[in-house]
Chain A
Amino acid sequence: EVQLVQSGAEVKKPGESLKISCQGSGYSFTDYWIGWVRQMPGKGLEWVGIIHPDDSKTRYSPSLQGQVTISVDKSISTAYLQWSSLKASDTAMYYCASRGMGGSYLDWGQGTLVTVSS
């Protein structure tokens, strides 16, 4: 069974750092790009960026480039999304996704809720 399992919910203060994870199993992890998608409270889906686990090549949304970093450790089939200095506006559900045709997303993680509040 293909699974993407994300790390648990986080509550942080503005200015703190954070790294959330997404571990894939049940498929060849290095064969497919992994994407991150943001959903702010009550809002739609927003594409954050992607990484290829084999060579760590990344692409970012221009609106988020420099605000987040996507990385991967292929030895443990895990992708990461990290922030060096969180803002209240980073409060959202973050999903990882992979394995669709082209750049579509067939498999999704369960989501990681990030809450940033003083």
Chain B
Amino acid sequence: DIQMTQSPSSLSASVGDRVIITCRASQGLSNSLAWYQQKSGKAPKLLLYGAVSLESGVPSRFSGSGSGTDYTLTISSLRPEDFATYYCQQYYITPYTFGQGTKLEIK
């Protein structure tokens, strides 16, 4: 199985801050990586797929980058509604696997 390691596991930040979340895979993914946002009590929401492609309707302050085994999610200027938990997911090969999550909290 491909192991996905996200960092940090939690993060405190302020509105307006730039935030970067990292996901490292145990083998190369050929950009078969998605990012999700999950708010408490809700289903996850797809933000990006293919490592860099923004899902329709997702604000442009969210962006993704990376290649091979290392990928990042960047939120350029945090808004109050962005405080949530973020997960990466590899879909390069089954079993698809998720990172352990990054909880983004208000400082």
Contacts and interface: CB of A to CB of B under 8 A. Distances in A.
B53 interface: yes
A59 B96 CA distance: 10
B1 A100 contact: no
A69 to B, nearest CB: 16
A106 B95 contact: no
B96 A62 contact: no
A15 interface: no
Say whether chain A's binding surface is mostly helix, strand, loop, or mixed: strand
A71 interface: no
Contacts of A108: 43-45
B50 A101 contact: yes
A24 interface: no
Nearest to A35: B96
A104 B46 contact: yes
A106 B87 CA distance: 14
Contact of A103 (B53, B91, B99): B91
Interface in B81-97: 85, 87, 89, 91, 94-97
10 contacts: A37-B44, A45-B36, A45-B44, A45-B98, A95-B44, A97-B43, A102-B50, A104-B91, A105-B89, A106-B46
CB-based closest 3 A-B pairs: A103-B91, A104-B34, A108-B43
